[in-house]
């Protein structure tokens, strides 16, 4: 990448595929200005296509404005409308209370796990 514009285009739409998984990252833009404010991630393992992981990041300048809550709602709805998806999972750092509250608002359940001690795993059943 040679410029900020190259980086922004990369973030706006990035796919990655391996033998075991597929991921899609898209940029989040404000409707009225098209300003890039963050990104979302969809990821699934090819041997478990009924289970998707979601992720998101929002620039600090845009925190506490309701974008996270709206974004997670949109991610859920997009996956609910996709055939065969039964579960959504999301990781959050233990110190990221705001993301935990957003996931809990959308009825994700926190699960105990030992794989990443500094993170929580959340799960939502769509079936």
Write down all domains in the chain, each with its CATH number in brackets: 4-125 (3.40.630.30)
Nearest CA-CA partner of 22 in 49, 44, 39: 44
| pTM: predicted TM-score of the whole model, two decimal places | 0.83
The CA–CA distances, whole Å, from 42 to 32, 61, 76 equal 25, 23, 11
Helix (H, G, I), strand (E, B) or coil at 39: strand
Contact between 68 and 56 (Cβ < 8 Å): yes
Q: Return per-residue pLDDT of the chain as tens, 127 residues.
A: 455 676 666 666 677 778 888 888 888 889 899 888 888 988 888 888 789 999 999 999 999 999 999 999 999 998 988 878 899 999 999 999 999 999 999 999 999 888 999 999 999 999 7
């Amino acid at each position: 990448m040679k410029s900020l514009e190259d980086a922004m285009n990369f973030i706006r739409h990035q796919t990655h595929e391996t033998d075991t998984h597929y991921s899609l990252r898209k940029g989040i833009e404000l409707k009225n200005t098209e300003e890039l404010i963050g990104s979302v991630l969809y990821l699934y393992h090819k041997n478990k296509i009924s289970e998707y992981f979601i992720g998101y990041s929002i620039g600090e300048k845009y925190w506490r404005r309701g974008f996270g809550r709206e974004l997670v709602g949109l991610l859920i709805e997009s996956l609910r409308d996709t055939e065969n998806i039964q579960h959504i999972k999301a990781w959050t750092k233990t110190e990221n209370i705001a993301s935990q509250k957003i996931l809990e608002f959308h009825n994700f359940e926190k699960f105990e796990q030992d794989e990443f001690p500094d993170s929580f795993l959340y799960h939502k059943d769509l079936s």
